[in-house]
A and B are shown apart, each in its own frame.
Chain A
Amino acid sequence: MTLELKQIAKTVDGSVHIHPTDLTLEPGSFNILLGTTLAGKTTLMQLMAGLDRPTDGSLHFNGKDVTGMRVQDRNVSMVYQQFINYPNFTVFENIASPLRVARRNEREIKERVGRMAELLKLTPMLDRRPSELSGGQQQRCAMARALVKSSDLVLLDEPLANLDFKLREELRDELPKLFADRDCVVVYATTEPTEALLLGGKTATMHEGCVTQFGPTGEIYRRPKDEISAKVFSEPPINTATIRKSGGTVDLGGVAQWATPAVLANRPDGDYRIGLRPHHVLPQSKGGATVRVQGKVLVTELSGSESTVHFTVGDETWVSLAHGIHSFDVGSTAELFADVSHAFYFGPDGGLIAE
């Protein structure tokens, strides 16, 4: 099934929640909505599901306009961040619930629920109530219910956010398997760029109610269309600054200078923006096209084998993410090396400048 959003927009009491959005999701595709909280991921999903009506635009399933259709008639499923199950039903009845509403016969229900429970390792818990399950099992139960009815559209709204990291990894590994032999459209919302990269598929970056870019996940990471998309798809946040090009050199607020890169060679002199991922700003020079930047250290976070250093560069705060333990005193002046060969350059309109 193909899901098409045509100029979908949502305004509530005069404030825009979703700007007019066009999006085409292909059958059998795994699509990720990536954005911070309040970026509009949940609202967009509710519009897709039909739980909320768009103020403008239309929604098409396989070319058929379903904008005004009730959610009950749409054959969609949804899993939320909170573990939502029917508390008064057993796990079996929870999973069977969509099939019961659809009036399937008892034998088929038994068989399909059994298969789903097997897949999500819930077989021993079928007679229990959701409140007697662990958090991970509760979310598995919610997922089993979402998958049991072979819906055309499966919406997963940060399903792993409330789980501890071990369960999250476990369930994340299983996810692609669950959808392997289905031709439904899967939409998965997450705030974590790492999760998007691990899941693959296609990604739509969202920012303040806008889908800023949509395409294969890896490609979006490597080639963000504009500064906002690059910011959304970076953890820790991407380092940005305004640079001034004058002839053969570019200058970063008087802090650092380097030779004008090829992409800017044919551009007029003036102000541009630079984006540099934290792991390209390191405490040690790797040689090559590195540029030395100096700044005041704000915070150093050591997490096992990685160091994150926050420091000021001109008026901006930058982050360096490096392997190994690199400790700096807070307030001291640190010297770091930026590998500008990996930098993104953005024009005055925010768009990426490519060759």
Chain B
Amino acid sequence: MRRRTWIVPTAYIVFLMLPIYWLVNMSFKTTNEILGGFSLYPKEFTLDNYITIFTDPTWYTGYLNSLAYVGINTALSVAVALPAAYAFSRYRFIGDKHLFFWLLTNRMAPPAVFALPFFQLYSAVGLFDTHIAVALSHTLFNIPLAVWILEGFMSGVPKELDETAYVDGHSFWGFFLKIFIPTIAAGIGVACFFCFMFSWVELLLAKTLTAVEAKPIAATMTRTASTSGYELGLLAAAGTLTIVPGAFVIYFVRNYIAKGFALGRV
């Protein structure tokens, strides 16, 4: 009996990895082979799909656009969330608990609800089809998340640290920038990761608020057919490349990710 304990975890891992394998598998095939029949591995191994993506501007600008608005969004969300989380963690004010909870309810609203008002609003002020538009719309759910994560990490730092710094003569900003932010660096990393991830995978708002100039990769990818017919190999290669940044970023916060899922409250 004992010797067979590996069966269940192996089956589970195979089951989990199968779609990802299939995606990578497809990305090295030609579209003809994909449509032609069933094969477990690429019979005519080709890198053409990847070469097309890195050379054809309609493809690689999609990545650049996505990275641009995700980057702006992450920086904006964390920069705004830092002082907010500090206030929630260190001060008591009227309605603080309600406000704090209300923030999280924004996280729970489906983006579709906001798609139309955002579209109308950004069109009116001339922000339509810009990176800023998507970045701003994503702060709707990312700022609350970042505030909650950072508040959790900040509340884990005793307020005596703040007091000691003031007693030693540090000004508030001196303390906040030189002592406090490095102390909660892990929390900031986790908040950045979650902002990055949720902005990276969000499709509906990104698609609605852009047309050509700021078109995200996800929008390019969901276009299954083009003038040259089905380009399944190309889509698979694009999908594979979409997974890479997330995997890359998660590596840096791997030790703190569980704490992040618990919104910094472990």
**Is B truly associated with A?**
yes
Q: Pick the contact of A51: B158, B166, B179 (CB < 8 A).
A: B166
User: Which stretch (A74-82, A184-192, A270-278, A299-307) binds chain B?
Assistant: A74-82
**Nearest CB of B to A344, in Å:** 38
A80 to chain B: closest residue by CB: B160
Contact B158 A77, beta carbon cutoff 8 Å: no
Task: Tell me the complex Cα distance, A98–B179, Å.
Answer: 13
Q: Does A102 have its Cβ within 8 Å of any Cβ on chain B?
A: yes
Interface size class of A (residues with CB under 8 A): 20 to 34
Q: How far, in angstroms, from A51 to B159 measured CA to CA in the complex? A: 11
Looking at chain B's contact residues, the main secondary structure is: helix
Chain A residues closer than 8 Å to B96, beta-carbon distance: none
B169 touches A102 (CB 8 A): yes
- Whether A71 and B166, one on each chain, are in contact in the complex, defined by CB atoms closer than 8 angstroms, is yes
* Stretch from A84-92, A119-127, A314-322 at the B interface: A84-92
Q: Are B169 and A101 in contact (CB under 8 A)?
A: yes
Task: Check A101–B168 contact: CB distance below 8 A.
Answer: yes
In the complex, which residues of chain A have a beta carbon less than 8 angstroms from the beta carbon of B174? Answer: 101
Chain A residue with minimal CB distance to B172?
A: A72
Which B143-185 residues have a C-beta within 8 angstroms of A?
A: 158, 160-161, 163-171, 174, 179, 182-183, 185
Residue ID in chain B nearest A101 by CB atoms: B169
Complex contacts, B168 vs chain A, CB 8 Å: 77, 97-98, 101, 145, 149
Q: Name the distance in Å between A220's Cβ and chain B's nearest Cβ.
A: 29
Contact status B171-A72, CB under 8 Å? yes
Pick the 7 closest A-B CB pairs, nearest first. Answer: A88-B182, A101-B169, A98-B168, A80-B160, A78-B167, A84-B164, A71-B166
The residues of A that contact B169 with a CB separation of less than 8 Å are 72, 98, 101-102, 149
A72 touches B170 (CB 8 A): yes
Most buried by A among B158, B160, B164, B174: B164
Does A250 make an interface contact (CB < 8 A)?
no
Q: How far is the CA of A87 from the CA of B182 in the complex (A)?
A: 8
Check B163–A51 contact: CB distance below 8 A: yes
A98 to B185, CA, bound (A): 23
**Contact indicator A84/B161 (Cβ below 8 Å):** yes
Partner-B contacts on A (CB < 8 A): 46, 49, 51, 70-72, 76-78, 80, 82, 84, 86-89, 97-98, 101-102, 142, 145, 149
B158 to chain A, nearest CB (A): 6
Q: How far is the CB of B7 from chain A (nearest CB, A)?
A: 43
B182 and A72 form a contact (CB under 8 A): no
Most chain B C-beta atoms within 10 Å of own C-beta, residue among A86, A101, A102, A142: A86
Contacting pair B161 A101 (CB below 8 A): no
Bound-complex Cα distance A23 to B211 (A)? 73
Q: Give the docked Cα–Cα distance between A271 and B97 (Å).
A: 52
| Smallest CB separation, B160 vs chain A (Å) | 5
Knowing A72-B169, A97-B168, say if A78 contacts B163 (CB, 8 Å).
Answer: yes
Given contacts A72-B166, A98-B169, contact A84 B179 (CB under 8 A): no
Contact of A88 among B160, B170, B179 (CB under 8 A): B179
**Inter-chain contacts of B165 with A (CB < 8 A):** 86
Complex interface: chain B residues within 8 A of A80 (CB): 158, 160, 163-164
Beta-carbon contact of A84 and B183 below 8 Å = no
Bound state CA distance, A77 and B167, in angstroms?
6
Closest to A88 in B: B182
- In the docked arrangement, what's the CA distance between A98 and B109, Å? 48
User: Are B182 and A51 in contact (CB-based, < 8 A)?
Assistant: no
Other than the known A51-B166, A80-B163, A149-B168, what 8 A-B pairs have Cβ atoms closer than 8 Å?
A49-B163, A49-B167, A70-B166, A84-B158, A84-B164, A86-B161, A88-B185, A101-B169
Residues 172-209 of B, flagged 1 when their CB comes within 8 A of A and 0 if not, give 00100001001101000000000000000000000000
Q: Residues of A contacting B182 with CB < 8 Å? A: 87-88
Contacts of A84 in B (CB 8 A): 158, 160-161, 164
Of residues 107 through 145 on chain B, the ones whose CB sits less than 8 Å from some CB of chain A are none
Instruction: Tell me the complex Cα distance, A102–B168, Å.
Output: 9
